Amino acid sequence: MRRMPAEYEAHDGTILIWPVRPGSWTYGGKEAQATFTELARVIAQSETLYMCAYGDHLENVRETFKDDPNIKVLDIETNDSWARDIGPTYVDEDGVIKGTNWKFNAWGGDYDGLYLNYEEDDAFANKFCEVTGYDTVDEHDFVLEGGSIHTDGDGTLIVTETCLLSQGRNPHMTREQIEERLKRTLGVEKIIWLPYGINGDETNEHVDNICCFVKPGEVVMSWTDDVNDIQHEMCEANMRVFEQVRDAKGRKIKVHKMPLPAVPVVITEHDAAGYVYEEGEDTREVGEKLAASYANFYITNKHVIVPQFGDPNDKVACDILAKLFPDREVYPIMARSIIVGGGNIHCITQQIPKGV
C-alpha cells in the first residue's frame, strides 16, 4: 500500500541542486548561489541536505560545505536547479520509502516548454535514487513535476487544472485518466482540482505557488483583494472550489488567505543584463512581472522557511505562518535571486520523508 507523506511530516533529508544555468540564474548564478548556500545551511540544522553539482563546479561546492557534516555533496549532472520538479516524488510503500520517477519535459516539451535540452533533468530522479540507495517507482511514461502536486498525507491531493490539463503535459489523457494515475501512484483517495495558480507562472501555474496544506483539512492560499488585478478573479474561482469540496476524510477545507506581495516583483535592467540564453530558451524582458508568492514556503524538521521580497507583506506572511506552525521556527530568507530564475524557495527544494 502506498502513501505520499505530507511535507510537514518528519524528513530524512532535502535535495538542492547548485544553480549555474546562465539562462535561469543571473551573472553565472553568483547571486543565487549565496541564497542557496544560506538555505542549505538552515535546512541542514535539522536534517541531511543533499547538494547536487557537477563538472567544474563540483570542487567549489565541496569546499563551500566542507565544514558541515549534514550537507552531502553529490556528483550528479543536471540542466538546471529545480529539485522540486525534476527530483523523485517520494512515497511510503508498506514502510519503505521509494522515489517516483516521472517524465520531465521542461514544463511543456515541444508545445510550450521553457528550454530545449532537458535530458539530464529528466534523468535526475533515477540517478539520485541510485546514488542514495532508494528504490524507484517507474512512471516515466507520465509527465509530471513535483511542484504541480501537493498532499496532506491523509489521502488528499491538490492540483491545478491549468497545469495538469496543459497540452504540453499528457494531452493523450483525459482528466479522469490523469486523476486515476495519480491516485494509483501516490496512494491518494481524493484530488481537489483548483482552476488556477498564480497569473504569469510559467510552469502553467503550479499548485505550490498558489496553495498548500498546513495540516489535514487546512490550507494556505495566495490571495489579493485588488479587484483590478486579474489574480483576484482567479483567487475567487479557487475559493469557490474550497467552499464546495470536502477532502478524502470528509472534512471541509479551512482556507487561510496569504496576501501576495503588495508591490509587483519585476525584472530590472540589472537582472536582464545578467542572463545568457541558449537557442530555444524562454527569455525575460525588463519590466516583466514575476510570479512571486509567499505560499511557496518550505517546511523542514525545525523551520518554516519563508520567501521575502523586501515588500510590506513580508512580515505579514511570516506572522501568518508563525501562528500556523507554532512548533517550528519561522526563518525569512530573501528570495529575489531565486524569483528572477523563475521560481521560489519551494521550487528548488525536494523533501525526502522519513520511513518507518
pLDDT in tens, 38-97: 999 999 999 999 999 999 999 999 999 999 999 999 999 999 999 999 999 999 999 999
Q: What is the dihedral of CA 242, 9, 328, 326, to 10 degrees?
A: 50
Residue 243, C-alpha cell as written in the block:
467552499
User: 288: which DSSP letter?
Assistant: P
Distance CA(329)–CA(322), nearest Å, equals 7
Task: Kindly report, residue by residue over 168-219, the tens digit of the pLDDT.
Answer: 999 999 999 999 999 999 999 999 999 999 999 999 999 999 999 999 999 9
Catalytic residue check, 318? no
Point out the catalytic residue in the list 52, 129, 211, 347: 347
Would strands 211-215 and 218-223 be described as parallel, antiparallel, or unpaired?
antiparallel
| Residue-by-residue DSSP string for 147-200 | GG-EE-SSSEEEEEHHHHT-TTT-TTS-HHHHHHHHHHHHT-SEEEEES---TT
| Average pLDDT of the chain, as a whole number | 96
Query: Tell me: the pLDDT tens digits for 114-166?
Result: 999 999 999 999 999 999 999 999 999 999 999 999 999 999 999 999 999 99
